[in-house]
Structure 1
Amino acid sequence: MNKRSLALLLGLAGCSTGPRAPAPPASADLAITGGTIYTGADAPFTGTVAVSGDRITYVGTASVKAGRTIDARGMVVAPGFIDPHTHVGAQLASTKAEARLVPAFLMQGVTTAFIGNDGGGELDSAKVLGAAAEKPVGINYATYVGFGSVRGAVVGAEKRDPTPAELDREKALVAAAMCGGAMGLSTGLFYAPQSFSKTEEVIALAAEAGKRGGYYDSHIRDESSYTVGLGAAIDEAIRIGREGHLPSHISHIKALGVDVQGQAPAIIAKVNAARAAGQDVTADQYPWSASGTSLVASLVPLWAQDGGRPALLKRFDDPALAARLHVDMAEGMRKRGGAATLLIVEGRHKGKRLSEVAQALGKPPIDAAIAVIREHDPAVASFNQSEADIAAFMQQPWVMTGSDASTGHPRVFGTFARKYRKYVVEDHVISLRDFIERSSALPADWFHLEGRGHLKAGAFADMVVFDPATYAPRATYEAPEQLATGVRTVLVNGRVAVDNGALTGTAAGRALPHTPTPGSCGK
């Protein structure tokens, strides 16, 4: 990358002289100087960010005397990235201090993550948030209460509606979790047993979160053409937010599978119409053409999942159901693009496509899938999206960057770096400024993470310094656990978590409890 290309990428042609800033402090603990600063709200400029304690004390073009000065010439200086959809809760709760640092995130510049997505958030949100006091973590985190956890505790795995008394119990669990600091209610309506719910049940629970200032976060009921269809599932997510009286966030927005590829413009139009009508609707997206899920979720019809894994295994053994199962699983495989599009990423068949497993076992693909599922339900990477749809969603100003970080997928180690390298530098889908702001300021502002997502005096000092020439992912589908390159410095609450491209071992993250609407928790 030559100097002219780099200058154009950084937005330095005709760049601003920085925001109007108060006089710099007489001194600071740390000063980062000479880098191209993206504040989260302003045009880029070359200047200084000063930090004392856990706060930023100055952002501007003056020099500041500091106990330590980091030379960031040629680097990008940005707010720490915020990931609104992850599955790193187990890492944050690990007994291993290194795991709790979440190195895969720090080495991309991610300083804050949400957990409890897809309906899996624990019921005791206060306990989840309080754990950081006993087991220090490397990044900040917030949590959702999960619809799957709530329904599982009250209704179980059965395909039925809750009774009125059970619905009241579900509502009470959501209310308690919100009062314990949950950000809102998350759902994974595609997954059994959450998929057995009707919209009205979800609205009733989302309303409990809404009463307490929370958010509705949804892995929608159908991202493809499995049940209600992509368009109807988007309509449902918007309806739940509207009738539940709370902001609605669509998780990992996509058009999944051959039947719906090309529908991104229609889905975007639906969201834009809701926003134009005054509704608060956003989404997040990961920059990968393969989703991450399980082999069961990819292929097995929902009717066969009723009752959980024990019931599914019995159905596999029922000759009367064999033909129906094969037909429905074959249709699921067709929608995803065939056996060659399913890469198994864990277990005995790790690294093999379902087509390869079938060949090795000497079985048709569906029989091979059933044989694998009998052993366990492995995670898979499912290649099912078009680049045109990915780009169309990414260009929307209401779409944040989110990893959906889960086992065996390179999005854990490479999402933010890939979005920059492929979609900013190589494909020119979005600008560097858009990438930074939609990865920091947009989620911070929408989720009201006060003092986060911006570089400004008084804000928490969550910050990333990266080399625009080398910031890139190393993780691939075949080798998903490779740390990204190009991040030089990361600050979390003012403490250096990455220094000169290496982890320091500092665990400076904090739990970020949501503050309920005053009076909504009986106080």
Structure 2
Amino acid sequence: MLIKASLLSALALVANVAPAASPPLYDLLIVNGQVVDGDGRTLDGVAIAIQGDRIVAVEPWLAQRASARRTIDARGMIVAPGFIDPHTHANAALTSPDADKRANLAWAFQGVSTVVVGNDGDGLSEAKRPGAAAGTNYAVLSGFGRIRRAVIGDVDRAATSAELTQMQQAVARDMCDGAFGFSTGLYYAPQSFAATDEVIALASVAAKMGGYYDTHLRVEGNSGIGVVGALDEALEITEKAGMPLHVSHIKALGPAAWGKAEAMIDRIEKARARGRQVTADQYPWDASGTRISSALLPRSAVDGGMEALRRRLADPAQAADIERAIEENITGRGGPDRLLVTGVVGNAGVTAGKTLAQLASESGTTPAKVAIEALRKGDANLASFNMSAENIKAFAYKDWVVTGSDGSTGHPRMYASFPKAWSDLVREGTMSIGRFIARSTGDTARVIGLEGRGFLRAGYAADIVIFNPERFKAVANYVNPTALSGGVQTLLVNGVPVIENGRYAGTLPGVRLKKVQKGTQCSAPPLV
């Protein structure tokens, strides 16, 4: 009887023991990589688990106690949040009917998982159309230039009271539609025709709805109020509007302005010391990119738009005045040998890949006349080699500066800004890997106000880049500006590989990201 009772007791004990829990089965595990989070910390020994479009675990020893449908061995690679580019001109590509363009590979092969569009006052543009699947995520800004042109046109005058209200309502509509902030390009017509108070009135609307102010300064060189005066204007706008300031592609443009970088840094750091939220982005190239019409013309010449300009050029007296102004601006940008034509617009009749100096020599005329003849029938993209290496470095190492591309057609910054910054600052410079990752991910997410992205944390979007630190390099240059960058092994966007084994995977998992407006400010027609 004793033996039987003991046996029954043992069987009862076995019956009461719960079966061993099955190890978690994830969609994807990333193991053995050098994991660097969006705050710059290296997370030693961790693996990353992904389920659907989310990171669900970032833990040590995870690989030993879990399984996955797929595992990526990232040995020898850096694993980081997908890079975030706060300044691009990718609107048209991201909303194109052509899936190959929507793949946004120029950025994906740099490790970028999210781009911002609408900068320089361009605004929502075609990106307002919902449902366009893309290779990368995209966030949009409300744009002053687009709004002012729609309400007032291209003319040089102040807004009426009624027009100001219309423009304020347009900003409110954009913010209700998910824009993250208000963008200006006060350097460009017709935005350049607006006084500071007009800009404050519109920026204040975005400020009340939680937006930030992203600006191409009114002046980046030494003309007019100068770059320091333009920075002071941006600080005034954001102080009176009550919102963060983000300076696009911070620079001191042209030899006459190179000595102003120190004063700009001083202004920003004093503002930050007073508690102001002031940041900037920077691309690592020594040439800016724009058009002849924007770089060389006086703003009075484009009052009324490009057709009005061409009518002025048909008048010999006005054409002579414009030519003199172009000559001055060529000098201010360092001379015609520093102005490289990178693309042709319309029937401009100039050759890409040659400087204005070369084109003038070949045609037996002057650089200013080459520019004027191009403007009579079209326009041209210019790479303007007018930045100092010392200034670039001075801005780059500030902890309030993040990586950005200002990516646009005809300039290698569209295809290679992040790997070039990596080469310049980490491989050949003194920046730590952690600082580079932070300035390209988490810091940028905070600037924009992106929630749930920019960090490797449970519950965050599975936007992840895996790259080879030795092979992560720019391939594009000024002669071949559209070469895809190398070194990105894998890019996940919302958990889906866009780049896999160094090649495009043929997927379009990117979505438009929207800022959620809390409260009731968007439940009624916006009237400011």
1:111 to 100, 110, 113: 113
Q: Helix, strand or coil: the match of 1:438?
A: helix
Q: Quick check: 1:263–1:389 contact (8 Å CA) kept in 2?
A: no
1:265 Cα deviation after fit:
1.6
**Cα distance per residue 1:381-436 (max 9 Å; x no partner):** 111100111111111111111110101000011000100012210133x2221111
| Structure 2: distance between partners of 1:129 and 1:321 | 40
| Structure 1: distance between partners of 2:23 and 2:76 | 25
Q: Helix, strand or coil: the match of 1:351?
A: coil
1:247 Cα deviation after fit:
1.1
1:276 Cα deviation after fit:
1.3
Instruction: Within 5 Å, give how 1:435-446 maps onto structure 2.
Output: 435-446=436-447
What residue number does 2:395 align with?
Answer: 393
2:259 to 258, 262, 286: 262
**Cα distance per residue 1:288-308 (max 9 Å; x no partner):** 110010011111111111111
1:168 to 150, 165, 169: 165
Structure 1 residue 479 corresponds to structure 2 residue 480? yes
Q: Quick check: 2:95–2:129 contact (8 Å CA) kept in 1?
A: no
Structure 1 residues 358, 454: CA separation in 2 closer, same or farther (over 3 Å shift)?
same
Structure 1 residues 154, 360: CA separation in 2 closer, same or farther (over 3 Å shift)?
same
What residue number does 1:511 align with?
Answer: 512
1:25 Cα deviation after fit:
6.9
What residue number does 1:49 align with?
Answer: 48
| Structure 2: distance between partners of 1:186 and 1:468 | 34
| Structure 1: distance between partners of 2:80 and 2:368 | 48
Q: Give the unaligned 5+ runs of structure 1.
A: 1-23
Q: Helix, strand or coil: the match of 1:118?
A: helix
Instruction: Within 5 Å, give how 1:407-446 maps onto structure 2.
Output: 407-428=409-430, 430-446=431-447
Runs of 4+ in 1 over 6 A off after TM superposition: none
What residue number does 2:12 align with?
Answer: none
Q: Quick check: 2:39–2:434 contact (8 Å CA) kept in 1?
A: no
Q: Quick check: 2:40–2:436 contact (8 Å CA) kept in 1?
A: no
| Structure 1: distance between partners of 2:319 and 2:26 | 70
**Cα distance per residue 1:237-265 (max 9 Å; x no partner):** 11111111111111111000011113222
Structure 1 residue 26 corresponds to structure 2 residue 24? yes
| Structure 2: distance between partners of 1:357 and 1:163 | 44
What residue number does 1:9 align with?
Answer: none
What residue number does 2:496 align with?
Answer: 495
| Structure 1: distance between partners of 2:41 and 2:209 | 36
What residue number does 2:19 align with?
Answer: none
1:321 Cα deviation after fit:
2.2
Higher radius of gyration, 1 or 2:
2
Instruction: Give identity over the alignment, percent.
Output: 45
1:129 Cα deviation after fit:
4.5
| Structure 2: distance between partners of 1:188 and 1:271 | 19
1:195 Cα deviation after fit:
0.3
1:328 Cα deviation after fit:
1.4
1:522 Cα deviation after fit:
3.6
Structure 1 residue 195 corresponds to structure 2 residue 196? no
1:311 Cα deviation after fit:
1.4
Q: Quick check: 1:129–1:512 contact (8 Å CA) kept in 2?
A: no
Size of the aligned set, in residue pairs, is 495
Structure 1 residue 128 corresponds to structure 2 residue 130? no
Structure 1 residue 225 corresponds to structure 2 residue 222? yes
**Cα distance per residue 1:87-107 (max 9 Å; x no partner):** 000000111111101011111
| Structure 2: distance between partners of 1:76 and 1:328 | 50
| Structure 1: distance between partners of 2:485 and 2:211 | 33
| Structure 2: distance between partners of 1:25 and 1:360 | 73
| RMSD of equivalent CA atoms | 1.6
Instruction: Within 5 Å, give how 1:51-200 maps onto structure 2.
Output: 51-62=50-61, 63=63, 64-122=66-124, 128-131=127-130, 133=131, 135-200=132-197
2:374 to 354, 372, 375: 372
What residue number does 2:249 align with?
Answer: 252
Once the two structures are overlaid, the 10-residue window that deviates more, 287-296 or 306-315, is: 306-315
| Structure 2: distance between partners of 1:164 and 1:183 | 26
Once the two structures are overlaid, the 10-residue window that deviates more, 60-69 or 384-393, is: 60-69
Amino acid at match of 2:34: T
2:406 to 389, 404, 411: 404
Q: Helix, strand or coil: the match of 2:120?
A: coil
